[in-house]
Amino acid sequence: MGRVRLGLIGMGMIGKLHAETMSRMKDLEFVAASDVDAKHQKTAEELGTKFYQSYEEMISKEKLDGVVVAVPNELHLPIGSTCAKKGLHLLMEKPIAADLESADRLIQAAKENKVHLMVGHHRRHNPLIEELRNIVRGGKIGKLVGVTVLWSLYKPKDYFRGPFAWRAQPGGGPIRINLIHEIDNIRYICGDITRLYAEVSNEARKFAVEDTVSINLRLAGGAVANIFLTDTAPGNIGYEANTGENLFFYHSPENCYIYYGTEGVITFPKMKKFFYRDAAKAGWQFPLCEEGIKIDREDPYTRQIRNFCGVIQGSETPKIDGVDARKTLEVTLAIQKSGETGQPVVF
């Protein structure tokens, strides 16, 4: 098989990032991109790829192996299904779909048409996350006891204005938009979530959507996890700002996660391990040892597209398939529900 031929549907903020990534990659052919808004033609030209205003025209005219779909959530199902019917493999931006029923139908469409469905939870492709997963699953901090996740990034006023007024409405808030990434990370690193509870608040901004959330999770292995999330406090703590993965966010060298095990503690993304070296001197009256972990940085978006190409060529399995991504969406929606009903949710 020659170079994989890919198309892109949707050239918004994340679509453009995919376009730039694909145009840089030598091991694939970025054949064409489409967007309903003709203004994106310029970007396509700059990146040396063909532009279509109609994605349907693109997928019927061009001979593609797969498409990257980065359109608004409610269009994931209709556009994804249409592409699947044309036999195109799918890399759908996260979330997999707007709701669980749509996710099921999309998974079904991919299955019926024998195409792969991969979902763009790009953080799974970050070497930092992969290493953290290896540490936790490899027992390098003993048995996992608990996890704390902090996300405190201040959304500026413009974030909610003009065409983005939907972000102040239910469904447009930090649970659906931002927290879903944290949930996927926890699931990828630790495994399934069995029980959860959430308290939400909109007291600060007084929008219809939440601005602050506190979450408790129980994990399949018996450990627990906490998440505190707010988009209305100056903190500069959060995956986006701390990993430096997306330099739109001011890069602050802080820790946003701490993984606690019986034999060690790992801070993320600083990737420092804390432990007692001498079992006879283990306990709160003794000093701790600190050890760094070497990680080679690599752009997760590039690795994600590479994985997609490998999946299409049959040499790799998707790092996150439709069923897995549906589960992440299910947990995220359950958090929203728990916040509304005030009741825990059991899986």
Partner 1 sequence: MEKIRLGLIGLGLMGTPHARILKKVEECDLVAASDVDEKQKAVTEELGIKFYKNYEEMIGTENLRGVILAVPNHLHAPIGIACAQKGLHLFVEKPIAQSVSEADRLIEAAEQNKVRILVGHQRRFSSLVEKAREIVTGGELGRLVGVTITWALLKPGPYFEGLLSWRKEKGGGPILINLIHEIDNLRYICGEIEEVFALVSNKVRNFPVEDTASITLRFRNGALGTIFLSDCTPSLTSWEGTTGENPLLYHDFGNCYQFFGTDGSLLFPQMKRRYYSDPEKVGWNYPVTEQGYKMVREDPYIKEFSHFCRVVIGEEAPRTSGEDGRRTLEVTLAIQRSGETGQPIRL
Task: Summarize as ranges the residues that interact with partner 1 (CB under 8 A).
Answer: 143, 145-146, 148, 150, 152-159, 195, 197-199, 201, 203-204, 211-218, 221-228, 230, 232-236, 238, 240-241, 248-250, 252, 258, 260-265, 274-276, 282-288, 342-344
Shortest separation between residue 314's beta carbon and partner 1, angstroms: 40
Nearer to partner 1, 261 or 300 (CB): 261
Shortest separation between residue 167's beta carbon and partner 1, angstroms: 13
Nearer to partner 1, 85 or 337 (CB): 337
Shortest separation between residue 291's beta carbon and partner 1, angstroms: 12
Nearer to partner 1, 114 or 206 (CB): 206
Shortest separation between residue 247's beta carbon and partner 1, angstroms: 9
Nearer to partner 1, 127 or 154 (CB): 154
Nearer to partner 1, 15 or 261 (CB): 261
Shortest separation between residue 116's beta carbon and partner 1, angstroms: 34
Shortest separation between residue 103's beta carbon and partner 1, angstroms: 27
Measured at the CA of 113, the angle between CA 311 and CA 187, to 5 degrees, comes to 50
Shortest separation between residue 233's beta carbon and partner 1, angstroms: 4
Shortest separation between residue 220's beta carbon and partner 1, angstroms: 11
Surface-to-core class of residue 134, CB atoms within 10 Å of its CB (0-12 exposed, 13-18 middle, 19+ buried):
exposed
Nearer to partner 1, 285 or 315 (CB): 285
Nearer to partner 1, 35 or 231 (CB): 231
Answer whether 82's CB lies under 8 Å from 105's CB. no
Nearer to partner 1, 207 or 274 (CB): 274
